[in-house]
Amino acid sequence: MDSAGNDAAAGPALIAGSAALGRELSEPVQLAGSDRSVVLRCADGRGSTVVVKTYPRENPGPACFAAEAAGLATAHGTGLAPELLAADIGSLTVVMSDLGSGPSLADVLLGEAPAAGARATLLEWARSCGELSAATTSRMADFETVLSRYLAGGPDLTDAATLPGLILRASERTAALTSQPVSGLRGVRVPAGVDAELRAVARAVSPVRFPVFSPGDICPDNNLLTAGGIRFLDFESAGIYCAFLDAAYIRMPFSTCWCVFRLPVDIAAAAEAAYREQIIGLHPALADDGVWADGVRSAVAAWSLSSFGWLLRRAVEGDDPMLPGRVSPSTRQLIRYRWQILLAELEPAGDLPALAELTRSLLAATAHWQAVELPVYPAFRAPG
């Protein structure tokens, strides 16, 4: 969705984009997107348009800039992302090719498209996630080098860098929150053995195991459906990840997103298989069903643990929509769904028993919320 580029930040972003590209840009139109950046579509003086993104000086702005610039450079020539045209570390500005306007996977899933069409789009998206990793597998070392240059000594605050800490601190953060009388979560106790299990989860999803390049935040609204196929747009969390983390993103689904509803079981399995087919070419060991099941289960735990802080805190404070003004679950619907999915992974396997006990305790303590069961995506409720 576009809006007139009259925001106070649009003028400086236009100037920064012009300087980075080396020619004057004009006619800025502000685009909806990340709340961590200003995004403009601008005329480039050559009869075409480009997209300019600028980032704030305060954290995590510099890290988001570095990941976006390095990520787009890594995806160069794959045809699955915009082309990087310029990047300026001084102004934290990225200029990229303009892929135009159109719907995203989120628009399809949250709309009333025929179920068959929504399924086909989801499977194409999942395949494309794997294709992007496959196309960039030889560039992972280059990504790390370019990212380091753009970070210029600053901290890496992307998901790839911060997820291990979120996993390891999950029990501490949960204990601190549930011990507050105002939280309404009396009776929740962190069982012995959880911290050892958190360390095991962090090891299981380390990027030293089955590494892939990924945009990181592959939320269904961070892409564009074009005539040529899926194109990924947001690289602010790009990094080298364990492949299981992207696979779990599909299974859960959509580990860090606002636009989360349930996927029909058969459709979720088909999407995961479409992704896995691409990744097996990079890591043949992932053809082993046992290796795959253990890894994805650990990744579901990893993403679930990352939400024990930010999402649980929001849910304790109230039951607001994840994104007001859009079709989205409430915070309490979503956190309870995350716990239900985590238990569904852990209990049949007998894995991570202390974490399973903590999760059951959280579900019991929040039963009084009476959160409505999370429904399937609207596209799969519609006839056809």
**Per-residue pLDDT at 158:** 87
Domain(s) labelled CATH 3.30.200.20 in the chain stretch across 2-97
Confidence of residue 176 (pLDDT cuts 50, 70, 90): confident
Asked if pLDDT for residue 378 goes beyond 90, the answer is: yes
**Per-residue pLDDT at 34:** 65
Where does 2-97 sit in CATH, by number? 3.30.200.20
Domain(s) labelled CATH 3.90.1200 in the chain stretch across 110-380
Asked if pLDDT for residue 169 goes beyond 90, the answer is: yes
Q: Render pLDDT for 198-245 as a digit per residue (tens, 0 to 9).
A: 999 999 999 999 999 999 999 999 999 999 999 999 999 999 999 999
Residue 343's CB is within 10 A of a number of other CB atoms, namely: 17
Specify the CATH architecture of the domain 110-380: Alpha-Beta Complex (3.90)
* Mean of the per-residue pLDDT values of the chain: 93
| C-beta pairs of 224-227 under 8 Å, 24+ apart in sequence | 224/99, 224/100, 224/101, 224/102, 224/103, 224/104, 225/102, 225/103, 225/104, 225/105, 225/107, 225/108, 225/121, 226/99, 226/100, 226/102
Q: Are 40 and 14 in contact (CB under 8 A)?
A: yes
**Per-residue pLDDT at 188:** 86
pTM, full prediction: 0.93
**Per-residue pLDDT at 3:** 41
β-pairing, 84-88 with 93-97? antiparallel
Q: Which range has the worst mean pLDDT, 26-40, 105-119, 137-151, 233-247?
A: 26-40
Share above pLDDT 70 across residues of the chain, in percent, rounded to a whole number: 96
